[in-house]
Amino acid sequence: MFSRDIVCFYEPANMNAIKFFEKKFNVTLPYDYKYLLSRTNGFSLMGDSIYGVMDDLSLGNQDLFSIYKYEHECTYIPQYWYLVPFAPDGGGNFYCFDTRDITDDNPLCKIVFWQSNYQYSEDDQPEITHDNMMEFISECIIDWTLECYDYNGDPL
């Protein structure tokens, strides 16, 4: 278990904010993400974070609403409508939910890496990095942290 000094959890998300996000942007968020939000409205581990759905903007502009809107409406190369950026890479790029295939029978989705300064095409799509969000968290948040730090945040 990670020390509370290096991980930050928040109060559970307002479920109405999740529904509002899905309706406003005409996307369905994956089940594993909505489950995470029911436990913590995003989190950060040693600076690596998963965005929450903030309804009070207590974290400034680091919430799913603000990031989605910015990445789809305010950038030179906007993201595809069905991509939902949920985790930054620290360099201006994002890990995103590819929400196209989410159904009642398949409530999870692939994770893709969106390079913000790259012009994708029909033949050159963003790279699929994980089959679901929990695989992403396990590898990119937990495993990569433990390659350099112990559970207290001390360098190895």
DSSP 140: I
Range of the domain at 14: 7-148
**Residue 44, strand partner residues:** 8, 49
Instruction: Give the pLDDT score at 156.
Output: 94
156 within domain boundaries: no
2 within domain boundaries: no
Whether the CB-CB separation of 71 and 78 falls below 8 Å is answered with yes
Which residue has 């595809």 as its token pair? 80
14 within domain boundaries: yes
1 within domain boundaries: no
155 within domain boundaries: no
Q: What percentage of the chain has pLDDT greater than the value 70?
A: 96
CATH (domain of 80) = 3.40.1580.10
User: Cα(45)–Cα(116) distance, rounded to whole angstroms?
Assistant: 23
Name the residue among 7, 98, 102, 5 with its Cα closest to residue 49: 7
**Residue 83, strand partner residues:** 98
154 within domain boundaries: no
134 within domain boundaries: yes
User: Cα(93)–Cα(65) distance, rounded to whole angstroms?
Assistant: 17
**Residue ranges for the chain with pLDDT beneath 70:** 55-61
Domain total in the chain: 1
57 within domain boundaries: yes
pLDDT tens for 86-111 read 999 999 999 999 999 999 999 999 99
